[in-house]
A and B are shown apart, each in its own frame.
Chain A
């Protein structure tokens, strides 16, 4: 037969369970805006009943523990999408800084090239005009500077990305150390059947931060999460993390090496590190090669046309541009070779008044360079290339952002803290607590009555 004592014990258990539930609610509310936090729910279980003859009497509630609500599949999808977003954003950031150099302005190569040919055309009306000759010289210098400036912009971006590679690798190493440190603690909890809770949240957030930096694959093992890069290079195994290193490669750029010194640069394809490497080694390198080729072939063609004529003093036309002997570095180093405007080889017969060779110089504008395009078309191709790359990066960044929003909504629908929901829980657990307290009060009153029975009989 159930006693008042057992009833009181059951009520006190209820008070304890409700208090704990309120603590969980409180914690959920407190972490409503904490990145990576998964809401927790109290796990109540009915206490084992007491068998009394044919009767089975309930013994109240038992709080089994707290459970974090997670969706591992969506979490994994978010990690992958974050890697893609990191790569796209890294490319976009660089290309947005490169774009203005290729935007039509008074400074860009296309405009300066047009200005040079216009000045040559103007000189043809009076080849002896000093002012017109000065104009051609100035236009040539402006064009060379536009090549120099554009090359500098590209190489500066490349240098910035090179520094970023080192910084990213350093950050990756810090994060993998933290993840590895959490693995044994989480493994210890899960081994005893407990939820990873806050530690698991922290680790998930660290993996997400890592995903923003590089492509990483995550495998769950009894010892915790094992992380590796795209080519399988281990980053974290159990409590051990494997640091990546950087070293200057043959191209002068920082290469990423695994713990054994193996170059894994090519296998880093996403995240900020992957995006930085791809932009540095492929995108900007490709643009620089095209730019150098244009500068070299243009300068060489112009010099060849200059050599066909005579300057104002009747001498054979000397080089107008200083063009490097190799394609690489041509845009950065092209310069105007002459300072004396009379050295412009406008004449085709050696007389100062002849403008015959200006036709040869002007023809450079409409003649295909060895690469197969006219200088103007080659530059327009570069403008298209830069625009297309930036446009693609923008589209990818936008798409991954939208996709991440959707995935985060999905995860939030499972793991997110709803203030409204927690408010109702608060009221629910408060009410339950009050009810349990009332039970205690009632039993106390019953105890008093029972004790009073004895006292009354004695009187």
Chain B
């Protein structure tokens, strides 16, 4: 074929060679084979999914780090409570003897009050502002001293509340009963009044949610008074109804050594793996005032030591012992979860490594290969340039002028 002009071919070859050089250089400097989706569309798409998995794994690892401390704090509180209950059983056993004097029983009872305070302190333990045993009501103290009567801020002698006094729609009034270990919740709907609240409280008392005799009435000073039977262990009342104002314990009605659980039974689960969530809290509903009923059993032992017979003290001590066993059982899932977090953290570290390897295989370059490619591209480019430099000046006119 007749060749008229080699310049276009030479320019094309130079362009191709420089493109190869540029690609090789980019791969060496970025360490990536895929710098944009068109370099390898399938790899770029898979990379997008893989990076999402990496982000999840990173977050799961952070979650483990975050909840492990919280759960270890809860476990530490459990440990203290178990120690306290063991102390209570020892004290109860020593006080149950028939030869123990009344003064010694009183002394033991006093010592037990200290144990109770310690248990309450542990039950109200918090981690970074989160009450560990309150269920999902984690921003409020779960164990609150109980009183027999609570009164509203609203209402005076001059301007007394009435049964027809309207409640704020959507407001919530709750009554936690130390005797039943249950909480009654009344959510006012539009148009409801104190009369409906009173009826609901009476019904709850009948149903056993609240102690028999619990009532909601208007007292002599015109306030809403929610009260329990004087022989009960008391209640704790709260409301967010602005029409009623805060519900406060009536001074002088506190029940000694009695606490009501105002938390709930909700369990928070935190995702620490693609299909693995761990319960991060142990709600106190089944620990303090019902179920294991730590507070109730300790309260019972103190009362027995203060005024009971040896048999009653023995029975109360057995109740504390039973509570201790129950608490120990409820601690097991928490300990298992902590252990599970540890092994999951190792798994996630391995998963991170796997994903990183996968991502490198998808879009990364082998450094040795890319360096070799760059050297080859440089050589090829030099060869093309050398060929161009040699061939392009080769013209007849050039020869003639030399001659």
Shortest Cβ distance from B323 into chain A, in angstroms? 26
A376 to B128, CA, bound (A): 34
Chain B CB within 8 A of A354 CB: yes
Partner of A362, one of B3, B12, B271: B271
For A352, list chain B residues within 8 Å (CB).
Answer: 136-139
Contact with A along B32-55 (1 / 0, CB 8 A): 000111111110111111011001
Shortest Cβ distance from A456 into chain B, in angstroms? 47
Stretch from B57-65, B115-123, B225-233, B310-318 at the A interface: B57-65
A115 to B56, CA, bound (A): 9
For A347, list chain B residues within 8 Å (CB).
Answer: 136
For B138, list chain A residues within 8 Å (CB).
Answer: 128, 351-353
Chain B CB within 8 A of A444 CB: no
B52 near A417: Cβ-Cβ < 8 Å: no
Contact with B along A93-105 (1 / 0, CB 8 A): 0010001101110
A102 to B35, CA, bound (A): 11
Partner of B56, one of A102, A118, A423: A118
For B58, list chain A residues within 8 Å (CB).
Answer: 118
A354 to B397, CA, bound (A): 90
Shortest Cβ distance from A120 into chain B, in angstroms? 9
A128 near B129: Cβ-Cβ < 8 Å: yes
For A383, list chain B residues within 8 Å (CB).
Answer: 37, 41, 44-45, 48
For B270, list chain A residues within 8 Å (CB).
Answer: 121, 124-125, 355
A355 near B37: Cβ-Cβ < 8 Å: no
Shortest Cβ distance from B221 into chain A, in angstroms? 31
For B139, list chain A residues within 8 Å (CB).
Answer: 128, 352-353
Q: In the complex, which residues 353-386 of chain A have their Cβ closer than 8 Å to any Cβ of chain B?
A: 353-356, 359, 362, 365, 376-377, 379-381, 383-386
For B396, list chain A residues within 8 Å (CB).
Answer: 419-420, 423-424
Chain B CB within 8 A of A51 CB: no
For A414, list chain B residues within 8 Å (CB).
Answer: 2
For A118, list chain B residues within 8 Å (CB).
Answer: 55-56, 58-59
Partner of A418, one of B4, B37, B63, B136: B4
Shortest Cβ distance from B216 into chain A, in angstroms? 22
Partner of B37, one of A102, A125, A349: A102
B62 near A122: Cβ-Cβ < 8 Å: yes
**Residue from the set B62, B134, B136, B271 with the largest chain A CB neighbour count within 10 Å:** B136
Chain A CB within 8 A of B266 CB: yes
CB-based nearest A residue for B65: A125
Chain B CB within 8 A of A140 CB: no
Shortest Cβ distance from A64 into chain B, in angstroms? 23
Q: In the complex, which residues 94-148 of chain A have their Cβ closer than 8 Å to any Cβ of chain B?
A: 95, 99-100, 102-104, 110-111, 113-115, 117-118, 121-122, 124-128
**Residue from the set A115, A376, A414 with the largest chain B CB neighbour count within 10 Å:** A376
For B49, list chain A residues within 8 Å (CB).
Answer: 376-377, 380
For A408, list chain B residues within 8 Å (CB).
Answer: 8
Given A121-B59, A413-B3, decide whether A391 and B41 contact each other with a Cβ distance below 8 A. yes
A125 near B134: Cβ-Cβ < 8 Å: no
**Residue from the set B35, B44, B67, B269 with the largest chain A CB neighbour count within 10 Å:** B44
Contact with A along B12-42 (1 / 0, CB 8 A): 1000000000000000000000011111111
A390 to B39, CA, bound (A): 9
B45 near A115: Cβ-Cβ < 8 Å: no
Given A122-B63, A387-B36, decide whether A418 and B3 contact each other with a Cβ distance below 8 A. yes
For A410, list chain B residues within 8 Å (CB).
Answer: 1
**Residue from the set A117, A125, A126, A410 with the largest chain B CB neighbour count within 10 Å:** A125
Shortest Cβ distance from A125 into chain B, in angstroms? 4
For A423, list chain B residues within 8 Å (CB).
Answer: 395-397, 400
Chain B CB within 8 A of A405 CB: yes
A417 to B6, CA, bound (A): 11
B268 near A413: Cβ-Cβ < 8 Å: no
Chain A CB within 8 A of B264 CB: yes
Chain B CB within 8 A of A340 CB: no
Shortest Cβ distance from A37 into chain B, in angstroms? 11
A100 near B66: Cβ-Cβ < 8 Å: no
**Residue from the set B45, B58, B134, B266 with the largest chain A CB neighbour count within 10 Å:** B45
B36 near A114: Cβ-Cβ < 8 Å: no
A121 to B56, CA, bound (A): 8
Chain B CB within 8 A of A23 CB: no
Given A110-B52, A353-B138, decide whether A387 and B38 contact each other with a Cβ distance below 8 A. yes
Chain A CB within 8 A of B402 CB: no
CB-based nearest A residue for B46: A380
Given A376-B52, A416-B5, decide whether A95 and B38 contact each other with a Cβ distance below 8 A. yes
Chain B CB within 8 A of A46 CB: no
Shortest Cβ distance from B27 into chain A, in angstroms? 15
CB-based nearest B residue for A417: B4
A103 to B136, CA, bound (A): 41
For A113, list chain B residues within 8 Å (CB).
Answer: 52
Shortest Cβ distance from B164 into chain A, in angstroms? 27
Shortest Cβ distance from A415 into chain B, in angstroms? 8
B9 near A405: Cβ-Cβ < 8 Å: yes
B51 near A111: Cβ-Cβ < 8 Å: yes
Given A114-B56, A418-B4, decide whether A353 and B134 contact each other with a Cβ distance below 8 A. yes
Chain A CB within 8 A of B135 CB: yes
For B124, list chain A residues within 8 Å (CB).
Answer: none
**Residue from the set A122, A127, A381, A387 with the largest chain B CB neighbour count within 10 Å:** A387
B266 near A356: Cβ-Cβ < 8 Å: yes
Q: In the complex, which residues 103-143 of chain B have their Cβ closer than 8 Å to any Cβ of chain A?
A: 128-130, 134-139
Contact with A along B173-189 (1 / 0, CB 8 A): 00000000000000000
A114 near B51: Cβ-Cβ < 8 Å: yes
Contact with A along B227-246 (1 / 0, CB 8 A): 00000000000000000000
Shortest Cβ distance from B215 into chain A, in angstroms? 27
Given A117-B56, A347-B136, A351-B136, decide whether A384 and B45 contact each other with a Cβ distance below 8 A. yes
For B277, list chain A residues within 8 Å (CB).
Answer: 359
A55 to B231, CA, bound (A): 159
Shortest Cβ distance from B135 into chain A, in angstroms? 7
For A421, list chain B residues within 8 Å (CB).
Answer: 4
Q: In the complex, which residues 30-62 of chain A have their Cβ closer than 8 Å to any Cβ of chain B?
A: 32, 39
For A419, list chain B residues within 8 Å (CB).
Answer: 395-397
Chain B CB within 8 A of A412 CB: yes
A194 to B59, CA, bound (A): 82
Partner of B271, one of A102, A103, A124, A413: A124
**Residue from the set A347, A414, A423 with the largest chain B CB neighbour count within 10 Å:** A423
B268 near A354: Cβ-Cβ < 8 Å: yes
Chain A CB within 8 A of B297 CB: no
Chain B CB within 8 A of A409 CB: yes
B4 near A390: Cβ-Cβ < 8 Å: no
Partner of B36, one of A124, A390, A418: A390
Listed A/B pairs (8) with beta-carbon separation below 8 Å: A102-B44, A104-B47, A118-B56, A351-B264, A352-B139, A353-B138, A355-B270, A387-B36
Closest 7 CB pairs of A and B: A387-B37, A416-B4, A387-B41, A353-B138, A354-B136, A390-B38, A114-B55
Q: Which residues of A contact B (CB under 8 A)?
A: 32, 39, 95, 99-100, 102-104, 110-111, 113-115, 117-118, 121-122, 124-128, 314, 347-349, 351-356, 359, 362, 365, 376-377, 379-381, 383-388, 390-391, 394, 401-402, 405, 408-410, 412-421, 423-424
Besides A114-B56, A384-B44, 18 more A-B contacts (Cβ < 8 Å) are A39-B4, A118-B59, A122-B66, A124-B269, A355-B268, A359-B277, A362-B271, A379-B48, A380-B48, A387-B39, A387-B41, A387-B44, A387-B45, A390-B38, A409-B8, A416-B4, A419-B397, A423-B396
